[in-house]
Structure 1
Amino acid sequence: MTYPPHGPSHPGGQQNPSQQPGNQQWSRPPGAEAQPTARIPKPGEEPTTALPRTHGEPATQQLPRPGAHQPAGDAPVAAPAAPKKIEPKAKSQGRLAGFLKDPLSVVLVLVIVIALGLAGLVGGELYARNRANHIVAGVVQCVVQDKASASFGTMPPFLIQHFTRDYSSISIHTDGNNVRDATQMSLQIEIKDVKLNETADAAGTIGSLVADVKWTSEGIKQTLSGVLPVGGSMISEVTTDPSAGTISVDAGLATIVTQPKLVDGGISLEVLRLTGLGAILPRESIQPVLDDATERLTKDYPMGIKADSVTVTSEGVQARFSTANADIPKGNDDPCFASIR
């Protein structure tokens, strides 16, 4: 019997699978170690974590299971490092550093700071100025017995004037209802160089004060009707003649022609003539009555304020009062100045 050249035959005439070209189990290179084969664990048996190594590859280190015994001599395996948390302070410092590196951001911060500072100064300026306006207006209102408004000069800023107690200028205007007992008389006052340097005799000084006075014809009529003890109720009309500089007072069937003049720092209505039934009365009997009325209206103002000029206009009378280098009265000398400190 003849045998196949490559070994015994198998059923079916096929060769042994181990001798097929694709099977390399028996064709290991000389000196190579046998590779362990993976084994399916039995029920209840822990699966092995060892993996076969290829030739020349170092063995990988296995991580111990939780609670497993660490063999002696083996180096402990370090746990994976947790990600580092960035603290809020570090984040804010990083944002601040980035913010300060931006020139536009720095400029905006400076602009905001300056704007807030200016807003504070403006607010303080307006408050202090408004407060001072009310104080001065109250003083004038007390003196002239009419509502008044006051405003301080814009330069230098009021806060500087307030801290130095040296005020460059003050403007005052009354409502024109009356000045003391003079009806429909208004004042426009300009005060310069006010220094609140208190002394034993004064609350301060003023460099100059100029007051322009306007007194309407109707106001003269109402005023004389109220202050003249005899014949005041009979006054029906007051007319002015600017060319002659006279004021005519019609009282029933009599007419008194007067001319305003400056007398002892005040204004007096000098009687020029009497017409109608008034002609039978001596002029000397009328003059003292008018002098007493006008003196109460135009004299005895504080700080030495006196009349400088008087002019008859088509609407009534205009006059100017003034004073210079005058002392401001203390509150105990004149209650109207009690708020000036």
Structure 2
Amino acid sequence: MSRKPSAFASVSRRTLVIAITVVVTLLATLVVGGEAYARHRLAGCISDQFEQEMGSTIDVGFGFKPLLISLVDGKISSVTVDSEGDKFGPAVGMVVHAKFDDLEFADNGGGTVGGSSADVTWSNDGIKQTLGDLVTGVRSSSASNMLTLDVLGGLAQLQVQPVVRNGAVEIETKSARLLGIGMPTDLVQGIVELFSQSLQSYPMGLKPTEIKVTDNGIDVELAGGRTELPANQGNKEMSC
């Protein structure tokens, strides 16, 4: 003869189910809150350190991998970094998208990066603004792989070609004409040197491996190996 469950047993089971549900909900809330805190803390730490090197405000991304454990062991498998604002170092209008792999952080805020890669895009308008008032227009051609700079309101034209040589970008002058005659050497050299310097200041051990002239400007590919991260001197509380 079967026995019906007592009212006390039914209440006990309901209480147990409610208790388990509450515990699971609290644990889920703690995990979600902890993950949000970990991402905020690590993003702030990386921003502080990388912005010192990159010379630009940046946006940091981690993907979907949980980062709570990274607060304990100080290791992050990969980080994506995108430049923000209208300047990157001395260059106006330069946009940088970078990926850093195998990051390890020390207690003093320093650390290492195992390897890195980056894509750089620099627009013709940004190049013009960077080169100053003497350059009044910039046009680029993917077909010729050259840029034409209008100088002194178009009275003169300077044609240049960027190339990667020995791990650095060099700007080669292909022609320089002022009203059909050669432009002054000092004027040409000053423009070319500023152009070149703006394409050589890359952070975190990144070096150019390829450069392409497009119809809208310049694209540069960068790569880097193991690099030391300097200790963060500004805010020790934000060490990772």
Shorter-chain TM-score: what band?
0.7 to 0.9
Aligned residues: 232
Contact 2:77 2:102 in 1 (8 A): yes
State the partner residue of 1:14. none
State the partner residue of 2:126. 219
- Aligned pairs (5 A) from 1:144-183: 144-155=54-65, 157-183=66-92
Task: Choose which of 208, 211, 216 in structure 2 pairs with 1:307.
Answer: 208
Task: Choose which of 46, 53, 62 in structure 2 pairs with 1:136.
Answer: 46
Query: Is residue 2:86 matched to residue 1:184?
Result: no
Q: Report the Cα distance in structure 2 between the residues aligned to 1:167 and 1:122, rounded to whole angstroms.
A: 19
- Match for 2:163: what amino acid? K
Greater shift after overlay, 284-293 or 184-193? 284-293
Name the CA shift for 1:137/1:273 in 2 (closer, same or farther; >3 Å). Answer: same
Secondary structure at the residue paired with 1:102? Answer: helix
Q: Report the Cα distance in structure 2 between the residues aligned to 1:176 and 1:263, rounded to whole angstroms.
A: 29
State the partner residue of 1:204. 111
Identity of aligned residues (%): 25
Q: Report the Cα distance in structure 1 between the residues aligned to 2:236 and 2:166, rounded to whole angstroms.
A: 25
Query: Is residue 2:102 matched to residue 1:193?
Result: yes
Q: Report the Cα distance in structure 1 between the residues aligned to 2:54 and 2:28, rounded to whole angstroms.
A: 38
Q: Report the Cα distance in structure 1 between the residues aligned to 2:237 and 2:217, rounded to whole angstroms.
A: 35
Task: Choose which of 275, 281, 288 in structure 1 pairs with 2:183.
Answer: 281
State the partner residue of 2:225. 324
Query: Is residue 2:155 matched to residue 1:253?
Result: yes
Task: Choose which of 37, 44, 58 in structure 2 pairs with 1:127.
Answer: 37
Deviation at 1:217, TM superposition (A): 0.3
Q: Report the Cα distance in structure 1 between the residues aligned to 2:205 and 2:180, rounded to whole angstroms.
A: 37
- Match for 2:162: what amino acid? P
Contact 2:156 2:183 in 1 (8 A): no
Q: Report the Cα distance in structure 1 between the residues aligned to 2:226 and 2:101, rounded to whole angstroms.
A: 10
Deviation at 1:219, TM superposition (A): 0.5
Name the CA shift for 1:295/1:272 in 2 (closer, same or farther; >3 Å). Answer: closer
Contact 2:49 2:232 in 1 (8 A): no
- Match for 2:136: what amino acid? S
Q: RCO greater where, 1 or 2, for CA within 8 Å and sep 6 or more?
A: 2
Contact 1:256 1:274 in 2 (8 A): yes
Name the CA shift for 1:109/1:132 in 2 (closer, same or farther; >3 Å). Answer: same
- Match for 1:113: what amino acid? V
Contact 1:142 1:336 in 2 (8 A): no
- Aligned pairs (5 A) from 1:101-116: 102-116=12-26
Contact 2:74 2:105 in 1 (8 A): yes
Unaligned 5+ runs, structure 2: 1-6
Deviation at 1:105, TM superposition (A): 2.9
Deviation at 1:285, TM superposition (A): 4.5
Unaligned 5+ runs, structure 1: 1-96, 226-232
- Match for 2:55: what amino acid? Q
Contact 2:41 2:238 in 1 (8 A): no
- C-alpha root-mean-square deviation of aligned residues, in Å? 2.8
- Match for 2:159: what amino acid? V
- Match for 1:203: what amino acid? G
- Aligned pairs (5 A) from 1:32-43: none
Task: Choose which of 244, 249, 254 in structure 1 pairs with 2:144.
Answer: 244
Secondary structure at the residue paired with 1:303? Answer: coil
Secondary structure at the residue paired with 1:243? Answer: coil
Return the index of the structure with the highest Cα Rg.
Answer: 1
Name the CA shift for 1:300/1:315 in 2 (closer, same or farther; >3 Å). Answer: closer
Contact 1:187 1:214 in 2 (8 A): yes
